[in-house]
Amino acid sequence: MATNTRYLRHRLLPLVAAMLVSGAVGGLTVGWGLSRQAEPGTAPAATPTAFVRTAAPVTAPGAGQVDFAAIAQANGAAVVNISVSGTRRVGLQGEGPRQGISPFGFPFPFPDGGEAPRNDIVRGQGSGFIVDKDGVILTNAHVVDGASRVTVKLPDRREFQARVLGTDPMTDVAVLKIEAKDLPTVPLGSEKDLRVGDWVLAIGSPYGFENTATVGVVSAKGRSLPDESYVPFIQTDAAINPGNSGGPLFNAKGQVVGINSQIFSHTGGYQGLAFSIPIDVALKVKDQIVKTGQAQHARLGVAAQDVNQPLAESFGLDAPRGALVAQVEPGSPADKAGLRSGDVILRVGKDPVERIADLPLLVGQAAPGERVEIGYWRDGREAKTSVELASAADSRTASAKGDGAAGSEHKLGLMLRPLSEPERRASGARQGLVIEDVTGAAELAGVQAGDLLVGINGKPVNTVDEVKAEARQAKQSIALQLMRDGATLFVPLRVG
């Protein structure tokens, strides 16, 4: 597991042995190591006399104070430890080095000795919490992914074999069931009531240390993580470590507002950046799984990005808002409804889309087959269209298509030339110009030599003259539509 200057995103499970909008718009490879690892899970237990059976909202002991001790004591009985086990085939020639796990849950490679293939037992631990007195437990999908046996251990030391009712990889939510009655449960709140700066408390089993409580504040809301754009994560600086995955995040009233899921870290451990799935999202998934055994999400069929100030100026928006459509999947609901690259989605139904994180959540709240109205910005004015949403299970990777002319545009800092026929075939581009070199404004904006320039301000470009014409009309900035490594992105560029 490389640890360079870039942040590594980790699932939170210690193992002690070896922008399409899909459901929305739309994690590292799931495996038995720490980086984006699976955490198996199990179910709840009985109520020890030291704990209150059903927690009520906890009031602060004084003005401006929060009684974290009361929250932990009232809810600890409903927070469970989940251990999982499964098998992994190792020792095959040609598969590269195998991976071991250190005592603290960090993976390390060791050479394949060329031995005969065999199945090794692998184990992991995570956390969960009881939401129904008859044994329904919420945890992360990556906790139980690939597990053949899931054991739930309650704080009173009772253990149960859990049944996985269902998992939803898109939201990383799993629902477990244990055969027990009259169990303690946690009170449920809503992420909508949280404010940045509010106190929060996490309880879980980091590195196997059960019922560990840590405190922090809400650092941000609606965070969109790479490849996890369906979930508007709650960011917190509460100490979260491997093994906390699936555990609850409480607000100052003692209500669960999130499920601890991921961290950003150079080391694999806590560095002040933890992310939790809003309980509002998790409960919708839970209800579907309990009823049908699976969760369904709607899909629009676009890849989108946030709108910053330069992009807003380029498209004539009054403020940076909405979700800028970078790609439209051919044949998708968005394509059939007439949406195209360069549109800025401002509304889904009656709900505004202020930032890209809003889009997947709003689309995902609808059911596949449901018809919704999409409000969008195009050519300096607002328009709307009706879209019949598809199922996220049918999602495919969208590809952007992008003939050429030669020349240069010094105002933008771009050296441009036409696409050759081999380049056109290799890239799949039907239009656009090859960027041979970048200087000045383009270099500062992050444009790279080798990028294909396929559009400006949402309009396709085929010749250098078209590029120059758009640049002359620009007041402060323009939005370059680029193809890079098969993906489409918009880059705002200051002109002048």
Give the residue ranges of the annotated binding site for substrate.
Answer: 142, 172, 243-245
Q: Among residues 10, 83, 168, 172, which one is catalytic?
A: 172
- Is 245 an annotated catalytic residue? yes
Q: Among residues 224, 245, 261, 477, which one is catalytic?
A: 245
Burial bucket for residue 112 (CB in 10 Å: 0-12, 13-18, 19+): middle
CA distances from 174 to 164, 325, 378 (A): 7, 31, 40
- Is 335 an annotated catalytic residue? no
Residue 226: CB partners within 8 Å, gap ≥ 6? Answer: 9, 27
Sign of CA dihedral 357, 362, 365, 366: negative
Whole-angstrom distance, CA of residue 27 vs CA of residue 277: 14
Strand partners, 85: 123, 149
- Number of Cβ within 10 Å of residue 201's Cβ equals 22
Whole-angstrom distance, CA of residue 371 vs CA of residue 384: 13
Q: Is 142 in contact with 175 (CB distance < 8 Å)? A: no
Q: Which residues are annotated as a binding site?
A: 142, 172, 243-245
Which of 117, 129, 166, 159 shows the shortest CA–CA distance to 144? 166
User: Residue 10 is which amino acid?
Assistant: H
Which of 232, 290, 298, 241 shows the shortest CA–CA distance to 265? 241
Whole-angstrom distance, CA of residue 453 vs CA of residue 407: 13
- Is 10 an annotated catalytic residue? no
Whole-angstrom distance, CA of residue 168 vs CA of residue 103: 30
Sign of CA dihedral 87, 92, 97, 103: positive
294 is written with which tokens?
């699976």
281 is written with which tokens?
């999202």
Q: Among residues 10, 127, 142, 358, which one is catalytic?
A: 142
User: Residue 416 is which amino acid?
Assistant: L
Whole-angstrom distance, CA of residue 237 vs CA of residue 260: 12
Phi and psi at residue 170, to the nearest 5°: -65, -35
Cα 169-173-179 angle, rounded to 5 deg: 125
Residue 146: CB partners within 8 Å, gap ≥ 6? Answer: 30, 32, 38, 40, 86
Catalytic residues: 142, 172, 245
